[in-house]
Amino acid sequence: MAIFSELSRAIFDTANPAPYAELAVKGLSEELVRRISAEKNEPGWMLRHRLESLKIFRETPLPAWGADLSGLDLDDIIYYAPLSLGAGSGPASDWNDVPPEIRKVYERLGIPAAEQKILAGVGAQYESEIIYHNLKKEWGSHGVIFLDMDDAVRLHPDIVRRHFMKCVPNTDHKFAALHGAVWSDGTFLYVPKGVSVAEPLQAYFRMNARNMGQFEHTLIIVEDDAEVHYIEGCSAPKYPPLAGLAGSSQSLHAGCVEIFVKPGAKCRYSSVENWSRDTYNLNTKRAIIEKDATMEWIGGNMGSGATMLYPCSVLAGEGARCDHMAIAFANAGQWQDTGAKVIHLAPHTSSKVVNKSVSMNGGTAVYRGLLKVEPHAHDCTSSVECDALLLDEMSRANTIPDIQIRNSDVTIAHEATVGKLSDADIFYLASRGITEDHARAMIVNGFMEPIVRLLPLEYAVEMNRLIELEMEGSVG
């Protein structure tokens, strides 16, 4: 049986008790920022960066485009909730050392089983802390470094300082500044020159408490001619409204992913984001790709009530290449505002973007993309393909491309299609004894298949299972 084949809505939506949250303070202040830095024993430069980010956050308005953020009460969010597992204890490297009630969450999600079967290493974050992190000795002996970010700041300060928020500066937008102020833990991955990691590494981020915020930082550095595949998974429970307060629970995810792909290197970053409807998913991901290097983004976005996520590739070196392959699923009450940004800075670079979305029960899926080719980036090629599938008359799909071409020696293609479920196809399947629900799910899975098949087999099973969960009860 596949590892993730038994996933159910209850596994994702059920929360653990959260006594630590009762001690946490809601809202953002300089006192809280200083406390985070002090409890992590950070160097002075990191505290200064946090305080500078806090100032920028306060001065920067909310974005006036994209998903509706007017319902997000930033004063009602818990920005930092340590679990009190023991001061300075750090993450466990054995699942038996993880508190049983937390370990059971990850066991139900299939993470320890995946580690044993197909992964080179695993990190697991619960609220504001990495609670488990482990790398197979084989890869450690090749010089691969796979740590939680708190340990990386302490053990590899020079590497971290050279790269931290250099790809995504705290001036990028309001939530990048917020991240710079309150980020907590996350993953640090360093692959030395010439090392090809044959198995994927994974980190899984889980929010649990009501009104929780999670601000993990992922920093990946792939040196010359090295290769790695990194997978991220995310989820959070759905809370019922408090008595007399409809819609009284909200969570915020404002993580940051920075990837540096050095000359001749290759990085594949795969993510399956399945936050609850309570969550505002305002994540920022960006890679800088140098000469003859390759960056591949494979993404699935579903679950969150509002998503604004646009992975970005900066093709900085001659011959650099990137692929962006993503799916988004918008169900009732969801606004999935996703896409890709590609910036061609160097000659002979190439990019490919394929984005597929499904909207049902009044959900809205938006592709919002940027393609920019600078004047000196001659002989570039780029292809953008956006396909949307509407499952009913209430749902919406929008395509908002921004294409800026500043020289004439380029080859650019952009294609956007939108379609509905074919009654003829459903009738054909129904005539062979397949129920209407199952027929619709089969058609949707076939529509998504070109993206899903790029994931490792077990994660393709997980993605298909998540799509099935979204499709349950879709008729009527």
Sign of the torsion angle spanned by Cα atoms 131, 176, 306, 471: negative
Name, in order, each residue with C-beta under 8 angstroms of 122's C-beta and a sequence gap of 6 or more: 111, 112, 114, 115, 132, 133, 134, 201, 202, 203, 204
Report the 10 Å Cβ neighbour count for 10.
9
- Rounded to two decimals, the pTM is 0.95
Please list the pLDDT of the chain residue by residue as tens digits (476 residues). Answer: 567 777 887 888 889 999 999 889 999 999 999 999 999 999 999 999 999 999 999 999 999 999 999 999 999 999 999 986 544 467 999 999 999 999 999 999 999 999 999 999 999 999 999 999 999 999 999 999 999 999 999 999 999 999 999 999 999 999 999 999 999 999 999 999 999 999 999 999 999 999 999 999 999 999 999 999 999 999 999 887 765 555 568 999 999 999 999 999 999 999 999 999 999 999 999 999 999 999 999 999 988 999 999 999 999 999 999 999 999 999 999 999 999 999 999 999 999 999 999 999 999 999 999 999 999 999 999 999 999 999 999 999 999 999 999 999 999 999 999 999 888 888 888 899 888 888 888 889 899 999 999 998 888 888 888 888 887 754 33
114: left (phi over 0), alpha (psi -120 to 50) or beta: alpha
Between the alpha carbon of residue 410 and those of residues 93, 344, 389, 406, 407, the distances in Å are 50, 11, 30, 9, 7
